[in-house]
Chains A and B, each alone.
Chain A
């Protein structure tokens, strides 16, 4: 088997007596369009937090291209190419959309600590940020502060920031939650324009979006991988239907 882009081996996390990740073996292949689904409280966000280093695992390993990054701090993993969006917006609320994206791009280009040159003279940073802003159709709002934007627009900024990090692995935690359904295509279009070798893992409740997007689906139930396969396999899986998909597909 080839080396996975991102892999976990026996990943466990417990908060006291509560096991939120139970022995998760997971592979995210290079260029994957992978979805992680599961009922509320299945531990999906915790899993992302373990992947990004926001939480330390109780046991097990996280490997990026075969290299163990389990003990690496979050910021260092970002530098290695793991970017994420948050389920609940984590933005620089008092700053403009342009500034929000520029901060991410500056870090990506390694100029975030540069003290002498004005940020406004970083043509490369501003250009890259502006391109992302256009891509996510945020152009008209670029000069507005986050607090002035409706929640759905803010969601798109969240994605622009993650893309600004130029990731090799992109983890999207319920990116469409709060985006009006008429606008979810902006999100999908943006992901579709990403280079093919970027691995994308999406956590999503909107099954319509999941089946449009994903080439592979994992189902997480009570902190453990319950099933995994192609969208067709998952849709046909009786057990998955009974624990989770039933209501979404039949209802």
Chain B
């Protein structure tokens, strides 16, 4: 009956789950000069977390996840630019909604396919959006994007100081927490369990009578909404949006983040984003022209020796310690 108890306890909070949030708050006080960078890390964590829901849990392999990041980012940008809709929180919701709608409709069509076909079709969807953003210059600013956007107080209460980054960081941290809470509830629910079933064996999942496609589309839509929130935060934090939010580089980057951190394990996004961004930051400083080489080498090492990412290493160490203790 140990297994039943294990399953019954899995969703409960463990003490160490407080650590990322304690660290997040500590950063605010300890590194006031790095809050701009730290905000970018939070946004990357959120984006990676959204990808983990589909890639890590539901096993949907996609190279077009930036489509939803970009949808959120452009929605906020266009609302601010053309309609003077500058309130951050409602802008965020609008970004999530637009991304979710795109996620739903593309999901209904694309999730009929698997594997390489799916990979290519998600890539195409993103490229279509990218080209739309490029060509619809009157609305999107085209190749130059929309620079110099400004935003008002959050819900009219908290100042949004894009120069000092303080409130912005806390805002991003709060939104990450909110989205994380949603993902955590989802992955430990029966729905989340059925997603892992879809990932592990599609044929069997059909044979236990699960509406597989519907589950996938729901997961894809929620994931798109969360990626939209990340994109919206990106525009709000930086005060600009351009085509880079929709590119293959961003899609591939977030996948690398998950591979580095470990996918299908909730906290992989946190570890991966920090490792990736710190690597990028320090390598780019040390070798401005060839920093990606360092990233590539790290990725090869992880792919060869730590298939489950940094968190996977921690897991196997823990298991080894436990086995030794027995």
Enumerate chain A interface residues (CB-CB to B < 8 A).
52, 54, 74-79, 83-84, 86, 90-99, 102-104, 106-108, 111-122, 125-126, 129-130, 133, 139, 142-143, 161, 164-165
Contacts and interface: CB of A to CB of B under 8 A. Distances in A.
Contacts of A111: 190
Interface in B196-219: 196-197, 199-201, 203-212, 214-215, 218
B4 A104 contact: no
A98 B196 contact: no
B1 A130 contact: yes
Given A86-B207, A142-B2, A99 B212 contact: no
Interface of B: 1-4, 6-12, 185-186, 188-194, 196-197, 199-201, 203-212, 214-215, 218
B188 A95 contact: no
A92 B197 contact: yes
A161 B203 CA distance: 13
A119 B190 contact: yes
Contacts of B193: 99, 102-103, 106, 112, 119
Given A91-B204, A93-B200, A120-B11, A107 B194 contact: yes
8 contacts: A74-B206, A90-B204, A92-B204, A113-B218, A114-B189, A117-B189, A119-B10, A122-B190
Contacts of B4: 98, 126, 129-130, 142
Contacts of B186: 115
Contact of A142 (B3, B196, B208, B211): B3
Contacts of B205: 103
B206 A115 contact: no
B188 A120 contact: yes
Contacts of A118: 10-11, 185, 188-189
A102 B200 CA distance: 14
Identify the 3 closest CB pairs spanning chains A and B, nearest first. A78-B209, A143-B3, A142-B3
A149 B142 CA distance: 57
Given A90-B203, A119-B193, A130-B1, A112 B210 contact: yes
Nearest to A104: B208
A96 B10 CA distance: 13
Contact of B194 (A77, A112, A133): A112
